[in-house]
Amino acid sequence: MLWLSNGLNKLPKIVADIEYSDDFTCTALIYEFEKTDQDQYAKINIPGKLAGKVHLSKANVWTSLERGLCNY
């Protein structure tokens, strides 16, 4: 629970080393923001302009998920 509440960007090695199988579920939370002017705050796009698969592909996550290689 400690790594969850501290917002780490990757899993601890002891968790990441567990083999990914059908017993697990992977959920991606995708937030799309847009900033049109340097002096403005970014605004969230709801709905987003891009499909979730596009975001995951551009982040190089989709291919890993398809091959079962993702340790996120």
Domain spans of the chain, in order of start = 2-67
Per residue in 8-57, pLDDT (tens digit) is 777 778 888 988 788 888 788 899 999 988 888 999 999 999 999 999 99
d(C-alpha 72, C-alpha 66), whole Å: 13
pTM score above 0.75: no
> Beta-strand (E) ranges in the chain?
33-34, 43-44
